Structure 1
């Protein structure tokens, strides 16, 4: 779908906006220019919402969580979520947890003894464990397990809910195509319930994590968030904290293996900044300009959220003159934005150097973390986490990718690899 939309939106005949129609469901007006995107996601933000287009497809999975709601419900979760990233204790907690978990991850690589492993799956487990500890103070410990029922259910639900956006008859076909839907939803909700119950038994005093902020929040009427609201918050932030960074890191290894010159330059930078130390601190990571450029360049070509849509509340006119009727679906494709020759010079070439000099892209030219008031709260955290793991691995290991010809995107709300990525690691 991303490739198809990209081809259509980058066609020389494309001008301003394009209507994509699917029988029996909402047509979508797709845009692909930064000016229109800024108008929709910022200038006239109140007129473009998630609406029923999202909620009817994702309500069983994401409930009233931040990714599935608008208005007051969104504002409250945004307010609580933004507070955590300004807390000094939270930042200290992040560095402590990542240092602890990366040691476990590196030991897992060492134990492979040069055998091919699915590093795509390993990254998902790593970020599930780290985010569970950082955000919820909860030890998931998925890296020690071959399978994690919750994670498997989480991935299956993402696929089926993603399919709903191109299947107008999903209410009728889901029971036949995906008979395990209700069971997987139950597994996912029970996981969220378990986290909350354990925290209630332990209390939130002296806690510096995200869950404590949600549990301590008081509504204007003096009430607290109920368990269902807390579970929705847990699942929504886990989707952001695990999947997007794990997938971005997977595509980074894919791009580096395809572009050995960039890998060589990155390895030189690692040798410069990490001489004796095996695990860097965050201050060192921030200084590594090329490593950060590598991560950004990967996201330009392989954004973790490849497609986004909104609903128009009222009639409107975009800056490029496109008329938007009330109730219309307005969509954009970050996957296509990163390949737009009107924004990027030589857009299909993997070139981290483009991030090291000259004018930098605006969030509307590089919308991989969303834009405007809904820009990703964890943008800085995701970037530094991804680079941290990348650098720690390449400090110790060379690698080869064994299934390059099989690596294609999978169908999901995010941008996974359909068949994973088989990698062999060798000690340096």
Structure 2
């Protein structure tokens, strides 16, 4: 090798080595994010309270949008601004998109096969591709459009049959969503909307899974306590999980024994056919995991969003009147609302955006974990730190939103382009980046159709002479954020003029 060439190569090697050392030195010199002083052993656990999303938002006012806490033995970074959320969910997505797995998920092994809990590895990429190709693409959504309308028709008939009696809004919405999902996947209704006991039992089961998975658990903060299960969360979660798992086992066993003369094909047929292909990566356990994630997450988030939207409109009757007037003007009262009408209902869409801003279904998103030491907004996030994105706090940030605690759908009118598709980091109810909720397209279609149909078909009021300002909007924290006192309302069929 000639001397000049040798000199050139050694120069490249030398300067590359210097750059790497400087980068490592710079990373080591970056400060940890600010945060409240931790107590011995407990760290900052006592500061979480019953509603961690609110407690963390309050702490962020003092310590900033990138905040460092020690929750027991778990080091946690909390993100509370659009700019820092963009860093985590987009700019540094490849190093921050692993999952911090709750103990209850580990207890049943669901995290090993679930698209929601897997780290972004080859199996995760395969499942995401599978869901996009077979479940949530435009062709599949169009093919199931009539099914969604039929389920909403059943919801309207159920409420008409109440004849002025109290309607449990979340339960009715839950029945509609769960039957849509079960009919799409399994060609069957999972509950009878007209039999409230069976519907409530299944809703309690789904809610229990979400609550145990999302509520603070000592076993997560002190992993050595997990086998003891001091709070009983592992025991309760196993019981809930087993009931649903056993149900899917029965359905799949019956499907394997024969199709019972069915002429239509559902999504379970598609999954089983893929399972039978040579060298298939899809097995029975993964299929049940896909069903579990779709049923639990889809039913809870959609029905909860409808309940919050109706509650906010009942608190502001003038806004409900505006939404109903828009529907009456654009669609009328004689024909039913269709999904194709939604683009012509800007105020209804604004109501949904404002609902999701104030009441994001998953207020802290699913917890992430840093796969490597990472810089976020000038601070060092150590490897293996838990990352929580407080989308509830971002939606209530007065630096971003005017009158952030007020329900003002009009803020999304007048040329506003802000949406919840993951591209606008001030509104992130479904996350962003690679880990954005894969069921977003279906969930939004269903919620919009239900909400528009409920407003078109009925005039709504509160029971027992209750005034709008008396409506209780207290939250109950879990993986999803639900109303602590379920919404009850009176529906009177709309009269044709």
What is the TM-score normalised by the length of structure 1? 0.90
1:287 aligns with 2:344: yes
Q: From the superposition, tell whether residues 263 and 218 of structure 1 become closer, same or farther in structure 2 (CA, over 3 Å).
A: same
1:292–1:383: 8 Å Cα contact kept in structure 2?
Answer: no
Q: Mean alpha-carbon deviation: is it higher for 223-232 or for 353-362?
A: 353-362
Q: What is the deviation of 1:205?
A: 11
Q: Is residue 8 of structure 1 aligned with residue 59 of structure 2?
A: yes
Are positions 1:426 and 2:492 aligned together? yes
The offset of 1:247, in angstroms, is 0.5
Deviation track 1:38-59 (CA, whole Å, cap 9, x = no partner) reads 22222222211344x3154324
Q: Is the 8 A contact 2:212 2:236 kept in 1?
A: no
Structure with greater Cα Rg:
2
Of stretches 242-251 and 277-286 in structure 1, the one that deviates more from structure 2 is 277-286
**CA contact 1:62–1:235 (8 Å) conserved in 2:** no
**CA drift at 1:332:** 1.1
| SS of the residue 2:369 aligns to | strand
Please list, as runs of the form range in 1=range in 2, the aligned pairs for 1:19-418 lying within 5 A after superposition: 19-23=68-72, 25-51=73-99, 53-54=100-101, 56-59=103-106, 60=108, 62-63=110-111, 64-70=113-119, 71-83=121-133, 84-88=135-139, 90-148=140-198, 149-165=201-217, 168=221, 169=225, 171-173=227-229, 176=232, 180-200=236-256, 201-202=258-259, 209-217=266-274, 222-308=279-365, 309-318=367-376, 320-361=377-418, 362-402=423-463, 404-418=470-484
Q: Shift of the alpha carbon at 1:335?
A: 0.8
> CA separation of 1:204/1:262 partners in 2, compared to 1, >3 Å: closer, same or farther?
farther
Shift of 1:190: 0.9
Hey, what's the Cα distance between the residues in 1 that align with 2:332 and 2:447? 20
Q: Are the structure 2 counterparts of residues 87 and 365 from structure 1 closer, same or farther at C-alpha, using a change threshold of 3 Å? A: closer
TM-score by length of 2: 0.78
Report the secondary structure of 1:29's partner residue. Answer: strand
Cα 1:179–1:370 shift into 2, 3 Å: closer
CA distance in 2, matches of 1:203, 1:373: 39
User: What is the rounded CA distance, in whole Å, between the counterparts of 1:94 and 1:392 in structure 2?
Assistant: 18
Listed as ranges, the gaps of 5+ residues in structure 1 are none
Shift of 1:191: 1.7
Alpha carbons 1:120, 1:417 under 8 Å: kept:
no
Q: Which residue of 2 aligns with 1:17?
A: 66
Pairwise CA distance, 1:256: 0.6
Cα shift readout 1:265-308 (whole Å, capped 9, x = no counterpart):
11110111222434222111222111111111100100011113
Paired residue secondary structure (2:289)? helix
Residues in 2 aligned to 1:346 and 1:198: alpha-carbon distance in whole angstroms: 55
Alignment deviations for residues 120-172 of structure 1 (CA, whole Å, 9 cap, x no partner): 12211111011111233332134133233444323223222222546534542
CA shift, 1:203, in A, is 9.7
Provide the aligned length of Structure 1 versus Structure 2: 422
2:492 is paired with a residue whose SS is: strand
Distance in 1 between residues matched to 2:357 and 2:261, nearest whole Å = 39
- Asked if 1 retains the 8 angstrom alpha-carbon contact of 2:96 and 2:370, the reply is yes
* RMSD over equivalenced CA pairs, Å: 2.7
- Provide structure 2 residue ranges, at least 5 long, that are not aligned to the other structure: 1-50
